[in-house]
Structure 1
Amino acid sequence: MATTAMLVTGLLATPAGAEHRTGTGPFAGASIGAVARSVGDARFEPGPCPQTPEPVDALDTARCGTLTVPENRAEPGGRQITLGVAIVPAAAANPKPDPIVWLAGGPGDDAVGEAKMAIDGGLNRDRDVIFMSQRGTYSADPALTCRNIDEFNARAVGLVYGAPSTERLHVKATRACRDQLVGRGADLSAYNDTESAADYADLRVALGIDQWNVFGISYGTHLALIYMRQHPQGIRSVGIDGILPPSKAGSALTWSSARQGFDGLFKACAEDPACHRRYPNPSATFERLVRKLEAHPVTTTVKVPGRPKPVKVVLDGGALVNWLTSATHVAEGVPRSLDELAHGKPQRVAEQWAGGKLSPQAFGTSSHGLAYGIFCSEWVPYESRAEGIRGGRKAFPSFPRSVLAQAPQLTFLRPDCAVWNVPAAPPSIRDVTRSDIPTLALSGGFDAQTGADNGPYVARTLSRATVVTVPYEPHVVFATSRCAQEIAVSFFDRPTAPDTGCLAGLEPPRFEIGPRAPGSR
């Protein structure tokens, strides 16, 4: 999308290919999802498994179908949309009766495509796991994807990140996307958290489930907190990983999160004798580079897998900030990459920056319609431009104003929302969630996208919350940490007393130590 997804996966991208699957294993056709059911205006219909951008082996034994819901519940008798559903059976012979429903990141990612992450992490050990494509996402109908935005993002690696000319092209791509979706009949005002939360409430009832558990990652935590506030019925427990509180979502929060994640990584380097000796102050190097590159951008060319010709890459201050926001996923190489950049070798940074934007999975898979529906109705109306810049200046006082004007992950969001033109959500969408539903609040110590402070923040009004920060881990710890997976699985067994013993044995990363540049001490 024109903005950067809250869950950045570009540095770890894999090739994509689409396929259809029909559950055929021993659990296919079992109780949940075996028959058509209706609830109000919603209806579940068994059928083939949804399309996914790349093969997902976990769907081989899944029971699948679609949930049909109103596009806009405020307009009775209006258009209906369908959402893909896949139910992966528990590995245990006698599963627990309360399944887990997975809420995807983004906003704009498709939950069905994230089934591998959930199953590889053991989430289906003794419970079925349910994946439903949020409205507008890849396996929903309609899918509000816009390939033209993805293509612009790929071209933009060769443009000055924060330049007015780049902004004009950026907004032009967003407007074209909007015109395309409206031309296909989409009611863009209906793609938001309130409608999505109601979709999940309808799904639980339509599947005949008395009680289930919720697990949300990244943006999915934003939706989970709204869902448990608006539709608490039937929710046994909630796990949230990479936490994005709706009450604080916006530019200031992304600046604060970036500061926390960067500081966590740089502190780990300082505490590692070899890293500290070779890279004594990577934080100061980074901030100096942001100022230098913003004044004098560097242009280079790099080879990107799958691209026959070298790709032009421009690195300015804003590009470097956004690179590091996602580069905490490959933390071991960050101090070396910054040092090489400081000594005139931008290739490592440029390859990672361009690689994420040009990977096959970056094209045609993200729902820009859902993303802008949420950003432009729930975030932008409730944070002024000045508040966003103040949040940036508080986190990074040394950054020039041109960098602070574009919050990490949310580039040109205000002008994008001006052309997206959807009404503001009711102010209550920004309410804190107050609940006694047992909640696991997971964060990573290196998370530069949704800072670890968000865990204690949301727990203030969740009376039965357990807050866990997994050190040395980036955004969405369930995806990268075996310890986090063990904690999450134990939480669903004992929602008020998860086993966190594995935290004691965690060790910092082994940072890469590169050769010294000629002439340096």
Structure 2
Amino acid sequence: MKQSFRLGILTDNMRILFLILILMSIGLVACSQENASEVAPVQIEITPTPISTPAPASIFEENFTLKDCNFSIQTRRKYQCGYLQVPLDYGEPDGLKIDISIAIFYAENPTSKENPLAYLHGGPGSHSLETIPFIFNSVFSSLASTRDLVFFDQRGVGTSKPSLNCPEVIDDTISSLNIKQSIEDQQASFMSALRKCHDRLVEEGINFSHFNTLSSARDANSIRNALGYEVWDLLGVSYGTRLAQTIMREFPESIGKVVLDSSYGLEQDIYASVPQHADRAFKLLIDRCISDTECHENYPHLETKLYRAVSQLDEYPMPGNAVMIKADATSNNGFAAENIPTLMTGNRFVSVLFQSMYQSELIPWLPEVISNVSAGNVEAANILLSNDLSTMQYTSLGQYYSVQCPDEISFTNLAFLRESSWESEFFRKLFDSQDLYAKEHISICEFWDASSSAWKENQPVVSSIPSLILTGEFDPITPPSDGETVAGNLSNSSFVIIPGASHGVLFSSACALFIATEFLKSPVRPDRLDTECANGIGNIDWVTPLKKTGFQAYSDPISGIESIKPEGWDNQAPGFFSRTSLGLVGLAQQIVPGTTAEDLLPTLVESFGVAASNTDLGEIKTDLYSWGITEISSNGQITILATTTIGSSAAVVLASGLPSQRNDLIESILRPVTKYFRVQYK
């Protein structure tokens, strides 16, 4: 039994943001939601090229139906949300209308002459407006700090009306997570749920032929006109790069500059390319680990372990627990966690591995995940599965197929897809040993019944519009070769590979953000951009096993703590450290004045929620202090607390991780840290 493969849908940083929320919900991230998604700020002083563009604040209220934004962010900029009515069919402009949901952030300087920037999200089908609280301050506050910024949910997506969501598929996925199914049964269940969604949408009057890329390109131009912009710049990520290229072809006079992040050309048979791209991604991961002395030493025989893990789980699926993050207006951060019992199969493990390779932040962790699963431990694999579950609800799956069937599948066939699958070693062994990949996509599009797109939708877009093409070295779905092909069709472009990065490099690489910001602000030609930072990116910092954690001196002049901290761990806040930028394993060292360890401990335990349990593990005695050790279990994860009283204050050292890491958290983290812990009073 192996994986029947479907393209990843949520292809920008929404995945990583939900992983952060998952880790927060289980106590493995010790930072705030806002800080967790921030990228190092970029500060650039470049004189912009002026262009005549009217300030549209009053125009918005005239042409749009105002609505509640349903999000809140910390910004000095004025922003508004609303709906723009556009034709369902641009061939019948006076016919039925649909509503496109829009958010506009105005430049702080109302007389700014810089081109507005339109963000074109990925998918197709992933929601845009709901990601704004996560990506605005970390990416767009610097990328578009002095210009208007326009977000919109593409037709059929998110808060646009109608929205082609498929809750039937989500429900089917969740209900089958703890069931051992053959790949044929899993595919049949998915297809049945998708058909139910299709039939319901048809009953609601949806004509899928009106929800393709060309229609979305026309929507974008309608938005530009309604806002009164003569010219704007475009930023497309993943599928958004196909939409951007379509706008470049249809409305070239409306565009100043274009940034394409993780791109592919219209002429590319992306479904036939997937097997080769998957092969490349897995081989690159393994080869890069082998070539790194420490990674190879810590995680030897990685390819063998990968095959072994999948084979073992195929025969003996392992039970576990995943966490699904859902919107919850009553919670402090707007989200709530739901525990879901799971049965990790080889099929599911391969799927979550591939989806995780989209995310630059996860690449350094994957060798450890593979090794752990090979050894019979699926805890980390379930965190990755949790990530996939949480992002499903932010994808309009009906829109995905309404785009992909006419714009992609209609230009390929069963023979091409089958041949590409069987020519790819990793893909054939891990994903498609039963030859279901090609059949699934062809059969879906047969019943989806969206009219095939015109031939021009399968032809390369050739343009001289100034363009920046960014790509990540590890990208498993739109690798550097795809971006290089796109750049070859754009005569006035610059092509940049970001080493160590994956899909959606603007959301994970400060270097990519710097280059894009310079490109948008600078009058220099694209091929003369300063891209030196991409050349200076070093080796990957692979996750090190806890047993091999090294330490260095640490001091906090505010609290007076003199101690040690793990080498190479991220300092997320004063006294808070994590093994990766996502958390996963965390360490905290804090002083709480005016209380004792005995009084503080109940408050700390209570903060983990009513469902948490705690166990007294005894003491750790050092030269200076006696530390009480308490284990707290919550949502299947653990936190080890060490507390002691020092003068009129309580000292806390906290280490969090997975249950299988209990002994390492105590012996390799807590014990050495408490040994060197001191407080220097002023």
TM range (shorter): 0.7 to 0.9
Cα separation, 2, equivalents of 1:120 and 1:247: 33
Please, which of 298, 301, 308 is the counterpart of residue 320 of structure 2? 301
User: 1:343-392, CA deviations, whole angstroms, 9 ceiling, x for partnerless residues?
Assistant: 22233223312x02432x532x3222221111111111212223223223
Paired amino acid for 2:320? T
Q: Find the counterpart in structure 1 of residue 217 from structure 2.
A: 197
Please give the TM-score of this superposition, normalised by the length of structure 1: 0.85
Q: Find the counterpart in structure 1 of residue 448 from structure 2.
A: 420
Identity over aligned pairs, percent: 23
User: 1:81-105, CA deviations, whole angstroms, 9 ceiling, x for partnerless residues?
Assistant: 1111211123567633311100011
Measured at CA, do residues 204 and 310 of structure 1 come closer, stay the same or move farther in structure 2, by a change above 3 Å?
closer
Please, which of 333, 349, 362 is the counterpart of residue 365 of structure 2? 333
Cα separation, 2, equivalents of 1:202 and 1:303: 42
The question of 1:150 aligning with 2:170 is answered: yes
Q: Find the counterpart in structure 2 of residue 512 from structure 1.
A: 543
**Unaligned segments of structure 1, at least 5 residues:** 17-29, 38-42
Does the residue aligned with 1:467 lie in a helix, a strand or coil? Answer: strand
Measured at CA, do residues 335 and 92 of structure 1 come closer, stay the same or move farther in structure 2, by a change above 3 Å?
farther
Q: Find the counterpart in structure 2 of residue 219 from structure 1.
A: 239
Does the residue aligned with 1:247 lie in a helix, a strand or coil? Answer: coil
Q: Find the counterpart in structure 2 of residue 24 from structure 1.
A: none
Deviation at residue 258 of structure 1 after TM alignment: 2.1
Deviation at residue 423 of structure 1 after TM alignment: 1.6
Please, which of 307, 321, 336 is the counterpart of residue 350 of structure 2? 321
Does the residue aligned with 1:35 lie in a helix, a strand or coil? Answer: helix
Please, which of 285, 288, 308 is the counterpart of residue 268 of structure 1? 288
- Structure with bigger gyration radius: 2
Q: Find the counterpart in structure 1 of residue 595 from structure 2.
A: none
The 5 A counterparts of 1:69-468 are 69-91=86-108, 95-115=112-132, 116-121=134-139, 122-159=142-179, 163-287=183-307, 289-290=309-310, 292=311, 296=315, 298-304=317-323, 311-316=341-346, 318-328=347-357, 329=359, 330-353=362-385, 355-359=386-390, 361-363=391-393, 365-396=394-425, 399-400=428-429, 402-403=432-433, 405=435, 407=437, 412-468=440-496
Q: Find the counterpart in structure 2 of residue 503 from structure 1.
A: 534
Contact 1:71/1:78 (<8 A) preserved: yes
Q: Find the counterpart in structure 1 of residue 672 from structure 2.
A: none
The question of 1:32 aligning with 2:56 is answered: yes
Cα separation, 1, equivalents of 2:93 and 2:454: 20
Measured at CA, do residues 431 and 265 of structure 1 come closer, stay the same or move farther in structure 2, by a change above 3 Å?
same
The question of 1:486 aligning with 2:514 is answered: yes
Please give the TM-score of this superposition, normalised by the length of structure 2: 0.66
Measured at CA, do residues 211 and 307 of structure 1 come closer, stay the same or move farther in structure 2, by a change above 3 Å?
closer
Further displaced range: 426-435 or 239-248: 239-248
Paired amino acid for 1:402? D
Further displaced range: 463-472 or 90-99: 90-99
Cα separation, 2, equivalents of 1:429 and 1:492: 28
Measured at CA, do residues 504 and 250 of structure 1 come closer, stay the same or move farther in structure 2, by a change above 3 Å?
closer
Deviation at residue 147 of structure 1 after TM alignment: 1.6
Contact 1:108/1:366 (<8 A) preserved: yes
Further displaced range: 264-273 or 78-87: 264-273
Cα separation, 2, equivalents of 1:118 and 1:161: 41
Measured at CA, do residues 502 and 490 of structure 1 come closer, stay the same or move farther in structure 2, by a change above 3 Å?
same
Does the residue aligned with 1:458 lie in a helix, a strand or coil? Answer: helix
The question of 1:7 aligning with 2:23 is answered: no
Cα separation, 2, equivalents of 1:227 and 1:404: 39
Deviation at residue 327 of structure 1 after TM alignment: 1.8
User: 1:52-85, CA deviations, whole angstroms, 9 ceiling, x for partnerless residues?
Assistant: 6xx5445972133322100112334321011112
User: 1:157-215, CA deviations, whole angstroms, 9 ceiling, x for partnerless residues?
Assistant: 33557622112211111111112222222221100101001111122122111111000
Measured at CA, do residues 405 and 237 of structure 1 come closer, stay the same or move farther in structure 2, by a change above 3 Å?
farther
Cα separation, 2, equivalents of 1:411 and 1:356: 27
Measured at CA, do residues 161 and 486 of structure 1 come closer, stay the same or move farther in structure 2, by a change above 3 Å?
farther
Paired amino acid for 1:511? W
Cα separation, 2, equivalents of 1:240 and 1:311: 39
Further displaced range: 83-92 or 335-344: 83-92
Cα separation, 1, equivalents of 2:7 and 2:473: 24
Paired amino acid for 1:467? F
Does the residue aligned with 1:348 lie in a helix, a strand or coil? Answer: helix
Cα separation, 2, equivalents of 1:402 and 1:466: 37
Q: Over aligned residues, Cα RMSD in angstroms?
A: 3.0
How many residues align? The count is: 490
Q: Find the counterpart in structure 1 of residue 46 from structure 2.
A: none
Contact 2:119/2:236 (<8 A) preserved: yes
Cα separation, 1, equivalents of 2:59 and 2:172: 43
Contact 2:413/2:442 (<8 A) preserved: no
Deviation at residue 311 of structure 1 after TM alignment: 1.1
Measured at CA, do residues 59 and 153 of structure 1 come closer, stay the same or move farther in structure 2, by a change above 3 Å?
farther
Does the residue aligned with 1:34 lie in a helix, a strand or coil? Answer: helix
Paired amino acid for 1:299? M
Further displaced range: 222-231 or 147-156: 147-156
Measured at CA, do residues 44 and 372 of structure 1 come closer, stay the same or move farther in structure 2, by a change above 3 Å?
farther
Deviation at residue 113 of structure 1 after TM alignment: 2.6
Cα separation, 2, equivalents of 1:279 and 1:474: 21
Contact 2:126/2:158 (<8 A) preserved: yes
Measured at CA, do residues 387 and 97 of structure 1 come closer, stay the same or move farther in structure 2, by a change above 3 Å?
same
Does the residue aligned with 1:388 lie in a helix, a strand or coil? Answer: helix
Paired amino acid for 1:7? T
Q: Find the counterpart in structure 2 of residue 66 from structure 1.
A: 83
Measured at CA, do residues 230 and 396 of structure 1 come closer, stay the same or move farther in structure 2, by a change above 3 Å?
farther
Paired amino acid for 2:58? A
